Chains A and B, each alone.
Chain A
Amino acid sequence: MQSILLLFIAMLLAPLYAAWILKIKAFFGGKKGPPLLIHYYTLIKLLRKGSVYSTSTTFLFKMGPLVSLTTAAVALMFVPIGGSPSLFSFHGDVIFVLYLLGLGRFFTIAAAMDTASPFEGMGAAREAYFPIICEATLFVMLILFYLLTGELKLSAYFEGLQPLRFWHTAGATLLFVVIALFIVLLTENARVPVDDPATHLELTMIHEVMVLDHSGPDFAMIELGAFFKLFFYSAFIARLIFPFTMGPLAADVALFFAILILIYGIVGVTESIMARYRMDKVPQFVLTSFALAAFATIITLEYIK
């Protein structure tokens, strides 16, 4: 019951956090920015519209948004929100969740290819390329966490005081993991410096260009899925950078959501103080996350011996 309630709160708040990034960016730009509830307004607006379908598309095009939303939502069910037990958990769920998100991406790409638009094809090629490197990073992290805990499930890594134990055993090298995870977050969620969620220039887009042809409720599903995905990655970073528990669950959860404000804030600051990379430099940036994760793993392996 408690897990369901927390999951519900997380899903409800995900769009609000994303708007917080917009607020931070507006602050750096000397603007007031949109209201914090902007994403709810947008979602309601989109849900009340109809969808437009090109005659050249097939059922794949309609499946894309549905699958990307459901996979992101199901992935959230495996997250131990605020260190409390997650809704679902089983041995090997880490790999399940990673490929669940992969499935969502596959259908987004398939839907983009289905439109036969040259832009969307380009976006799909980029979207297929960069996350491969992210996947490598995540698996190296998985090796590290597995060696430290001997378990293959998300809840075993991020529940209760386990993150604190990571810091005890792995020490400062865990910082590498945090940074690597942050880079993965930026890449997977199409943030600056990898992608620019605010641009209207099709030729420079990665994620946005693939969903150009979606409209109305379909687009609302894609947006909501994106908010869930951002929340998914942020939740892990939140647990890692603030691994303590206060005792009562309410306090832990409250603190967890407060830390999330900080993480989304850092995303906003990152987007405000730097330009995005040239497209051919992006792989180097994403590879940095792999190098850091690999480093952390190797160092920790020596340490454990």
Chain B
Amino acid sequence: MLTDFLPIENGKAIALDQVPQLRFEDFQRRTLQLVEHGAKVVQFFAYADQGAIKLLAVLRTRHLLVAACPAPEVFPSLTRHCEPFHLFEREIAEQYGLRPEGHPWLKMVRYHANQRGVADVFGNDYAEDIPGRYKYYQVAGEEIHEVAVGPVHAGVIEPGHFRFNCIGERVLHLEIQLGYQHRGVEPLMISSPTKRWPIIVEGIAGDTAIGHSLCFAQAMEALSGRPADQGAQRIRSVALELERLANHIGDLGALSGDVAFLPPANYCGRMRGDFLNLTLLLCGNRFGKGLVRPGGVRFSLTEEIRKTLLQRLAELKPQVLHTLDLLFATPSVRARFEECGTVSREDADHLGIVGPAGRASGLDYDVRRAFPTEAYAKLDVRRIVVSTGDVFARAKIRANEVRQSIALLENLLAEPSETATIQPMPSTLAPASLAVTLNEAWRGEVSHCVLTDAQGQLLRYKIKDPSFHNWNGLAMALRNTGISDFPLNNKSFNLSYCGFDL
């Protein structure tokens, strides 16, 4: 009987029967041992294989580790020992109707009936108006007041419900309830024809179209044995960095706007558009939709476009650097950013925060460095970590990553990256296989996990956006912070609603 996890590689397929099938007790014991020694959760989900429900976990240490086990209908919750399992276990309960016994706060994630058609773990009748029936976390006392924001917000943003338990202007607790944009992306992948897959994946989170597309394409390449050539890999890395630049710059501008400091807000808004236009030049879509496909890219980087990109980048670089200087050198801005919404390193580590938000709290994890894909193994991606964990740290990380991304782009575009463009999807996937892919999108670790059945059809498509890890970080940042600083903190994380809601 196997008792241990199997090390796997990012973006390499393995046969499903190679995945260690442990007994549940061994699975649980070993998982907790690993996380106690610093392993982090990448994926944890249930899937149905020939009528039997199984649990599969992907952990990361310096390697990616995988193991599976048969899923009991009721199992002792791992969250009691390790907080990062919290949302994963709620998701399993919601998707497959399995009950994690002793889970500290077992509530629904996205409000939908489970896929097996068994009794609902939360006792919900989904024919009813569910959100209204849920009892929110409450704080009692003389001067306590509760503020409910959303799901419909001022401004053009996604829907999400926020409950603040406040004492005066101070927030005691923030409860975040999402799920309003649940589209059922994971089952949709299974039921859709192959040619629709890339389109669906690009729509998981529109602002991370490249990040999710990369995860999808790498998984398909691994399962079909058709890797992208080096030219295509460089172009895809260019696209990922452009996506990072556009979003980071847009968010820095929005942060500036939230403290009513208008000049950088306006400049950044314009420059975000300029960077989106570079992606437009690359593939004809400002968000990079239609560029990344399994096996390569649909648009090659001609010499003419490469030179134009380099030239526009050279024009934008001094403007970007100047605006960042203006933002960070203004005392009244620093006064707002510093010591606002602090997430300590311990809390960030405890919650398993990833991406820039994690690096702002001193967690040194970047997929581009830890599990490099595409052209990143050949690039010098330096460590960028700040330890204060406040809004200032999160803004600073973004600013430093903007500088780094510009340098990476200059490097990537320095030499020609011609590639043969590809059109059709791979015809067949390897039967009974598993592929796990990770990429560092601008919010952090995006991961897709693909399982195929004996006929080479999709058995399970599991998607994880970094926001899935990080929403609790935002709730933590708001503790003991003024309620009027919520928009600022929210923007410093800028998490995805639709990436979470799937």
Give me the interface of A with B, judged by CB distance under 8 Å. 25, 28-31, 118-119, 121-122, 192-193, 196, 198-204, 271-272, 274-281
Contact = CB atoms under 8 A, between A and B. Distances in A.
Contact of A122 (B147, B260, B270): B147
A96 B258 CA distance: 38
B274 to A, nearest CB: 13
Contact of B266 (A31, A119, A202): A31
B262 A118 contact: no
Given A193-B332, A272-B263, A275-B335, A204 B149 contact: no
A199 B260 contact: yes
A281 B333 CA distance: 13
Contact of A29 (B146, B155, B263): B263
Given A193-B260, A199-B258, A276-B332, 10 more contacts: A29-B266, A30-B270, A121-B145, A122-B169, A122-B483, A202-B149, A203-B486, A204-B485, A204-B486, A274-B330
B197 interface: no
Contacts of B78: none
B122 interface: no
A219 to B, nearest CB: 15
B261 interface: yes
Contacts of A192: 260
Interface in B436-485: 482-485
Interface of B: 145-149, 154-155, 169, 256, 258-263, 265-267, 270, 330, 332-333, 335-336, 340, 482-487
Contact of B336 (A119, A271, A275): A275
Contact of A278 (B147, B256, B482): B482
B262 A272 contact: yes
Contacts of A193: 260, 332
Nearest to A201: B487
Given A198-B260, A200-B155, A118 B267 contact: no
Given A118-B146, A199-B260, A202-B154, A275 B330 contact: yes
A280 B169 contact: yes
Contact of B262 (A29, A203, A204): A29
Contact of B147 (A28, A119, A198, A204): A119
B310 to A, nearest CB: 25
A7 to B, nearest CB: 33
Nearest to B485: A278
A276 B487 CA distance: 14
Contacts of B260: 192-193, 196, 198-199, 271, 275-276
20 contacts: A25-B262, A29-B263, A29-B267, A30-B270, A118-B145, A118-B147, A122-B169, A122-B483, A196-B260, A200-B155, A201-B154, A204-B486, A272-B262, A275-B330, A275-B332, A275-B336, A277-B332, A277-B336, A279-B482, A281-B335
A273 to B, nearest CB: 8
A99 to B, nearest CB: 28
